[in-house]
Structure 1
Amino acid sequence: MSDAIYIAFTVLRVLVTYGIPLIILAMLVRAIASWFRIDERYAIIRFLARITDPFIDPIRRFVPPMGMFDMSFLIAWFMLTTLQILLLQALP
């Protein structure tokens, strides 16, 4: 394997290993902030919303909130974790 391909796979492995957990952490912080009624007036919450909405919004279209519980967060968490495991197993 050439050096360029090895470096590309290494960079991809680092992005998958650390990027997906950062997205999950951002979703968790946003969920906890919503419990304390911290909304998008704050810049950090707006930033977290911009990062996490592409992962949560498509799921919200199919799974509506059940009472006060939003299951889309848990489904997105499960799907991102599964994606991370599958991608790490597929990389050489």
Structure 2
Amino acid sequence: MGLYLANFLNILASVLYFSILARVLVSWFNVSPGSPFFPVIRLIYAITEPIMGPIRKVLPKTGMFDFSPVVALVLLHFIRVLARNLI
């Protein structure tokens, strides 16, 4: 049972990790709602917002910089390390 849980946590953390990286990259571009990529971008935001939203609320305001992706990636890294240690 522990092996399945560790593998599930590792896969989930990997998906979230790459989704957050994609969100950071997408945030650098202005994509209009009429774009064919818009549904994919909405999906990326829907996947990452449940993690980054609460982190953003806890972090102090830093002007125009959003450090919530960095904190989320660090937390996901720790989850992946813990999952690997469970195996």
> Normalized against structure 2, the TM-score is what?
0.80
Aligned length: 83
1:3 aligns with none
Q: Take 1:64 and 1:70, find their aligned partners in 2: how far apart are those partners?
A: 10
Q: Does 1:38 align with 2:34?
A: no
Q: Which residue of 1 aligns with 2:15?
A: 22
Whether contact under 8 Å (1:16, 1:88) holds in the other structure is no
Q: In structure 1, how many angstroms separate the alpha carbons of the residues matched to 2:28 and 2:39?
A: 17
**1-structure distance, mates of 2:39, 2:61:** 25
Which blocks of at least 5 consecutive residues in structure 2 are unaligned?
A: none
Whether the 8 Å CA contact 2:10–2:83 is kept in 1: the answer is no
RMSD: 1.8
Query: What is the deviation of 1:18?
Result: 2.4
Does residue 48 of structure 1 match 2:44? yes
Q: Which has the larger radius of gyration?
A: 1
Report the Cα offset of residue 11 of structure 1. 2.7
Gaps of 5+ in 1: 1-7
Among 70, 73, 90, which residue is 2:69 paired with? 73
**TM-score (ref. length: structure 1):** 0.76
Q: Which has the higher contact order (CA 8 A, sep 6+)?
A: 2
Could you tell me the percent identity over the aligned residues? 29
- The runs of 4+ residues in structure 1 deviating greater than 3 Å are none
